[in-house]
Structure 1
Amino acid sequence: MDTITRRRFLTASGVVAAGALAAGGTAYGLRDILDFRSEEPLGRTLVLVTLYGGNDGLNTVIPYADPAYAANRPSMAYDEGEVLRLDDEFGLNPGLAGLHRLYGQDRLAIVHGVGYPKPDRSHFRSMDIWQTAQPERPGTTGWLGRWLDTAGGDPRLAVSFEPVLPPLLAGATSAGATVPGGALTLPKGVTPDVLTGFGTPAAGDSPARARAAACFADLIKVRDLVDGAIPDDDGDAEAPATATGGQAPPLERQLALVARCIEAGSATRVYSVSLGGFDFHADEKGAQESILGTLDKPLAAFVERMADRDVVVAVYSEFGRRVRANASEGTDHGTASTVLLAGAGIPGGRYGEPPSLTDLDDGDLRHTTDFRDVYATLLADVLGADPERVLGGWTGRLRFS
């Protein structure tokens, strides 16, 4: 049998965490985040959830009472009996039972019609705009990266549990830290004991080899933390998969790591996590409901777990979808959508003007809330920052009334 080496393991498993950590830069080990402390009061923590692919806001927060909704989506529309009712006009997608429960407890805020002027329907361009908060011309710094510049620049203040640091955490003089928290699938013939051995430096190792060993130790910590952070679900036949194998939902793993860091007292102020797969150009209704369930369960559990802590969660996507369904029972790239907010100090309810389904801009919703209003509110009320300094003089705010 071939000898399993650290290098061969990385190649076979596709693990990026150890490679990123060994490269240095803004990559940190999990222990670096868990041990990060501050002598000053921490303030509130922001957890930003990015939904990649362009989530269909109209089938997420559903205007079931508007005749134009069913008229534009005859095979995709949910009727009053299918939605999780919020009131006499709107309901949540059936896949969002946990968030519906939070809404009923006045713990979930829904912001309607969030977008920006002259919207772009490209996934990449629009996400650049959302992450830089610069609609006219996306720059090279993210809005939270610019906040990090003003907050002292320590990368551990803003942490991503995604494989690659998202642009939103890149500042002009600093950048956040990335601690990839994805699944660790062991190649054939590699047991957890072998992995543990990889994490033990050998006598006479060069500095590079010693650092490689430390990276494997970080992977072991991620595995062990996820094992303990994701609780068993008594309602399921199988326990959730962990970092040693299986396919537990990526968002569930990421939020479990965020929760552990917060509960450990880390001084990190911002966490970035994500869930992809929202680009449904065909057969959307059932597929979106399924992936919204994948969002709902860990997100609602995380909000409940953080109920006694100063944590705010914000959920957004790069754009919504067009009002009219296409011929494949899906939707194409659109513009304005909904943003979800939950956590400490966030009053539940619906906010912002719901966009008209008849007064459209070339078939798309006209945005009624500028996303910079959302960002400014998070900067001021959660991070205690000056929004105008970070957002190029922007003075707008959300109005929770």
Structure 2
Amino acid sequence: MTALPPTGAGGPCGCPEYAALSRRGFLRGLGTTGLAWSVGSAVVSTAGPVAAASSPDGAAPGSVLVVLSLRGAADGLSLVVPHGDPAYYAARPSIAVPAERLLARDGFFGLHPALAPLLPLWQAGRLATVHAAGLPVVNRSHFAAMEAIEDADPGSPERVGWLNRLLGELPGSSPLQGLAAGGAAVPTSLFGPEPVMGFRSLESAGIAGNDKWDPAGARVRSLERMWGASGTPMGRAFRSAMQAVGDLEPARRQPDRRTSYPDDDLGGALASVARTLRGDVGVSLVSVDHGDWDMHTDVGTLERGRMRREADSLARSIAAFFEDLGPLADRVTLVTISEFGRRVAENSDRGLDHGWGTVMMLAGAGVRGGYHGTWPGLRSSADADLGVTTDYRSVLAEVVAARTDASPAVVFPGFRRERVGAMLGQ
């Protein structure tokens, strides 16, 4: 492998590409999915028939998959520490996590101490990690790597994400089946012909103008008359949007347990997702973004710093989410994914530059707990990467096979998955 130069450039991120990512990705989505229409704070992509929740064989009826994207390239070597590999400590004299402080430690791996809120899931056998996972080819561009991971169909000229392909394999009739929560833009994974919805929060999803200044609902009635019989893409978008907003009402009636989550964007997004799922409105696929993991500087220590902050938010939010779900947790599987990992060696700013392999985490229904994956070994040189021994699609395909009745071969075209063993029955 040819070593590439470090990508860091000071500041909290150091990547102008990453800073501009959200807006650019949204604009690209508008141009490639037919239409993504914003009505109030709701975003609905409408370019084909509506689908709804799946009832797969071997999984609880109404199984739900939540994909949590760790934006900015999360350092898997900090989250799940290979304390048994001496190169880890040689490469990180300032930021390595001491072996004696690790949680759920076995002879080789251990969890970052900030992940302590996830220990009940780990002890119950409902939390798994897959290390050295990622794209099969090195890609150090945030934007290009996110596109590749979320399309999951290398070489295809079509702009259809893997979650949208999965959506097309599930039967049903709810416009809320595919949901992007916590942001204004629908991610690449949900782009495609199947309609999906996105909202920043459950409370903010609504029709613009349908507020206290329009108590008689004149705005909604006017929109219904204007677009009710239109066969245009815009007409279909408005009808889907209005139906989706109306179908969210049972979720809005659910208790709001936001105060049990961290007071940040991820906590708010997962609180809205849990409340929506408890409302039983037909959601089966959810995408959520989290944080800024692009840590070229100041990764920090166990007590403070960016890694501690992001890992703490991640762990407390996931733990609160499964607690909030109650009995519904037996139907929900959550998987984390990041566009790539970080270099093995720390840089001169006590940060980490763009790397390759990282760790994926799985929690909830159908998960076979423990550490999974094939360890490639580390080198401590400045340009060394954690290699990829598990294609990320093998992990996702295993989840699809275990928790839905969809064909992984359709969701991941041309890909032959390898057994990972992180899901029961696989």
Deviation of 1:183 after TM superposition, in Å, equals 8.5
Q: Counterpart of 2:316 in 1: which secondary structure?
A: helix
**Aligned letter for 1:385?**
A
Which residue of 419, 423, 426 maps to 1:398? 419
Contact 2:184/2:199 (<8 A) preserved: yes
Which residue of 216, 223, 229 maps to 2:256? 229
Which residue of 162, 166, 184 maps to 1:163? 184
Which residue of 266, 275, 279 maps to 2:281? 266
**Aligned letter for 1:207?**
S
**Aligned letter for 1:304?**
E
**Aligned letter for 1:158?**
G
Deviation of 1:267 after TM superposition, in Å, equals 2.0
How far, CA to CA, are the matches of 1:117 and 1:18 in structure 2? Answer: 39
Q: Does 1:347 align with 2:368?
A: yes
Q: Counterpart of 1:146 in 2: which secondary structure?
A: helix
Correspondence for 2:131: 112
Q: Counterpart of 2:99 in 1: which secondary structure?
A: coil
Contact 1:160/1:272 (<8 A) preserved: yes
Deviation of 1:310 after TM superposition, in Å, equals 1.1
**Aligned letter for 2:148?**
I
**CA-to-aligned-CA distance 1:378-400 (integer Å, 9 cap, x gap):** 22111211111221132314332
Which residue of 293, 306, 325 maps to 1:278? 293
Contact 1:226/1:253 (<8 A) preserved: no
Deviation of 1:126 after TM superposition, in Å, equals 0.5
**Aligned letter for 1:376?**
A
Deviation of 1:278 after TM superposition, in Å, equals 0.7
Unaligned stretches of 5+ residues in structure 2: 1-36, 227-237
Contact 1:46/1:383 (<8 A) preserved: no
Q: Does 1:96 align with 2:124?
A: no
Q: Counterpart of 2:136 in 1: which secondary structure?
A: coil
Q: Counterpart of 1:156 in 2: which secondary structure?
A: coil
Correspondence for 2:159: 140
Q: Counterpart of 2:65 in 1: which secondary structure?
A: strand
Deviation of 1:181 after TM superposition, in Å, equals 1.5
**Aligned letter for 1:258?**
V
Correspondence for 2:201: 181
Contact 2:344/2:379 (<8 A) preserved: no
Q: Could you say if the C-alpha distance between residues 320 and 79 of structure 1 is closer, same or farther in structure 2, counting changes exceeding 3 Å? A: same
Of 42-51 and 198-207, more deviation after overlay is shown by 198-207
Unaligned stretches of 5+ residues in structure 1: 1-15, 185-193, 234-239, 242-247
Q: Counterpart of 1:347 in 2: which secondary structure?
A: coil
How far, CA to CA, are the matches of 2:172 and 2:291 in structure 1? Answer: 29
Contact 1:183/1:250 (<8 A) preserved: no
Contact 1:61/1:338 (<8 A) preserved: yes
How far, CA to CA, are the matches of 2:220 and 2:86 in structure 1? Answer: 70
Q: Counterpart of 1:69 in 2: which secondary structure?
A: helix
Contact 1:281/1:332 (<8 A) preserved: yes
How far, CA to CA, are the matches of 2:220 and 2:319 in structure 1? Answer: 46
Which residue of 118, 122, 125 maps to 2:141? 122
How far, CA to CA, are the matches of 1:175 and 1:205 in structure 2? Answer: 21
How far, CA to CA, are the matches of 1:65 and 1:385 in structure 2? Answer: 38
**CA-to-aligned-CA distance 1:162-218 (integer Å, 9 cap, x gap):** 3111110122x323222332886xxxxxxxxx9951463465887249999x98x96
Q: Does 1:363 align with 2:384?
A: yes
Q: Could you say if the C-alpha distance between residues 136 and 320 of structure 1 is closer, same or farther in structure 2, counting changes exceeding 3 Å? A: farther
Of 318-327 and 133-142, more deviation after overlay is shown by 133-142
**Aligned letter for 2:364?**
G
Correspondence for 1:332: 353
In the superposition, the TM-score normalised over structure 2's length comes to 0.73
Of 305-314 and 102-111, more deviation after overlay is shown by 305-314
How far, CA to CA, are the matches of 2:258 and 2:220 in structure 1? Answer: 38
Deviation of 1:253 after TM superposition, in Å, equals 1.5
Q: Does 1:294 align with 2:313?
A: yes
Q: Could you say if the C-alpha distance between residues 86 and 199 of structure 1 is closer, same or farther in structure 2, counting changes exceeding 3 Å? A: farther
Correspondence for 1:131: 150
Contact 2:164/2:189 (<8 A) preserved: yes
**Aligned letter for 2:199?**
V
How far, CA to CA, are the matches of 1:250 and 1:323 in structure 2? Answer: 29
How far, CA to CA, are the matches of 2:377 and 2:282 in structure 1? Answer: 43
**Aligned letter for 1:328?**
D
**Aligned letter for 1:108?**
L
Q: Counterpart of 1:197 in 2: which secondary structure?
A: coil
Q: Could you say if the C-alpha distance between residues 203 and 329 of structure 1 is closer, same or farther in structure 2, counting changes exceeding 3 Å? A: closer
**Aligned letter for 1:345?**
G
In the superposition, the TM-score normalised over structure 1's length comes to 0.77
How far, CA to CA, are the matches of 2:103 and 2:369 in structure 1? Answer: 16
**Aligned letter for 1:57?**
G
How far, CA to CA, are the matches of 1:128 and 1:70 in structure 2? Answer: 33
Correspondence for 2:337: 316
Q: Could you say if the C-alpha distance between residues 99 and 203 of structure 1 is closer, same or farther in structure 2, counting changes exceeding 3 Å? A: closer
**CA-to-aligned-CA distance 1:123-181 (integer Å, 9 cap, x gap):** 0000011101134568511011112223358642211113111110122x323222332
Correspondence for 2:24: none
**CA-to-aligned-CA distance 1:315-354 (integer Å, 9 cap, x gap):** 1111110111111000011111111001111111111112
